[in-house]
Amino acid sequence: MAATSPLLVMRFSALGDVAMTVPVLRLLLQQNASLHVRMVSNNAYAPLFAGIDRLTFTGADLQGKHRGLFGIITLFWALRKLGPYSGVADLHNVIRSRIVGFLFYLSGVPVVSLNKGRTQKRQLTRRHDKQLVQLPSGFERMQDVFDALGLSCALEKKPAGRVTSLSIPTSRYTIGIAPFAKHREKTYPFAAIKKVIALLHSDQRFVIRLFGGGAAEAAALAECEKEFSGVISMAGRHGLANELSAIAELDLMISMDSANMHLASLYNVPVLSIWGATHPYAGFMGWGQPLEHAIQVDLPCRPCSVFGNKTCYRCDWACLQQIEPTMIVNKVYQLLALSTH
């Protein structure tokens, strides 16, 4: 595909999924020297794309002027005025992005949409006769979109391993803990995560930072901040740009299958990820994160959901309840190559 005009790329939400586009877009631009990209996403996610050469970010106000059918058409006209484009990469493939893509298609612009692999994911998560195999990652699905547009996009994933490759001994390690996810089925019980915090807090080698979003999460983490001296909550205080700066300084992140796993992965921070109803096989493991960094229990009911938005039909949340706090803490010491104190 000729790259004389910018490539329009769309991915509106959620934060973790938008973050997954960043390493792929960096590689795409590195491998196509004449390419320019206009990235369209939620206004709030602009800091994710700051400093990427030959990428221009355009914010969409999905809860305001770009809401609903009329708003999506308004967004199309605004984007069209910023064109022309050599092609459109729809990395979301939902109704709003399909409408924008269809209107560009009618304007004669090549459009390729992400294949979400819905059939494969249903086979992976169905209650009986699960097909428990590794599916293409979200990064590979994006690669397919750019390949179909005639662009070079070889994925060169480097495993996240900053702490295991340290050659200079250090006396303190900064550990981030992001204990929340959008859905209960992906969220480790808060009482149990407090036990993890307590165990790590008892080791003077660890500096602990807590991450979350929204008023309820910020309030819960503020209580932890009061309970554990020296533990600092970053929730609701600093904005996304400053939060990213704090994440970049971590030696290790403990996260659910959530946005913070992907944010930390952008900075090559090793992530100890905790998986409940969902599974890395669905293709949402963090960029460069090895499967060995995931903590999960093997149960015949897992995975029961791709996104964690289905209520546990067993009603016991065994996938999370069977993960002991000591399992997480021992994994921390393993990933940091430390002996227990």
What confidence tier does 294 reach under pLDDT thresholds 50, 70, 90?
A: very high
Domain ranges of the chain: 7-148, 163-335
Angle of CA points 259, 260, 263, to nearest 5°:
90
What tens digit of pLDDT does each residue of 63-76 get?
A: 889 999 999 999 99
The C-alpha atoms of residue 311 and residue 19 are separated, in whole angstroms, by 26
Count CB-CB contacts under 10 A for residue 50. 10
What tens digit of pLDDT does each residue of 101-140 get?
A: 999 999 999 999 999 999 999 999 999 999 999 999 999 9
Provide the CATH number for the domain formed by 7-148 in this structure: 3.40.50.2000
Buried b (16+ CB within 10 A) or exposed e, 54-76: ebebbebebeeebeeeebbeebb
What tens digit of pLDDT does each residue of 260-285 get?
A: 999 999 999 999 999 999 999 999 99
The C-alpha atoms of residue 244 and residue 266 are separated, in whole angstroms, by 9
pTM across the whole model? 0.92
In this structure, what are the phi and psi dihedrals at residue 123, rounded to the nearest 5 degrees? -65, -35
With pLDDT > 70 as the criterion, what percentage of the chain qualifies?
A: 95
* Amino acid identity, position 37: V
* Amino acid identity, position 331: K
- Token pair listed for 307: 């996104």
Kindly report whether the peptide bond that precedes residue 44 is cis, defined as omega within 30 degrees of 0: no
**7-148 and 163-335 have identical folds:** yes
The C-alpha atoms of residue 340 and residue 335 are separated, in whole angstroms, by 12
Residue 214 has pLDDT above 90, yes or no: no
What tens digit of pLDDT does each residue of 132-185 get?
A: 999 999 999 999 999 999 999 999 766 555 544 444 456 799 999 999 999 999
* Amino acid identity, position 312: C
Least Cα distance to 7 among 17, 16, 31 occurs for 31
Count CB-CB contacts under 10 A for residue 226. 10
Beta bridge partners of 111: 88
- The H or E element containing residue 61 is none
Residue 289 has pLDDT above 60, yes or no: yes
Provide the CATH number for the domain formed by 163-335 in this structure: 3.40.50.2000
pLDDT given for residue 168 in this prediction: 45
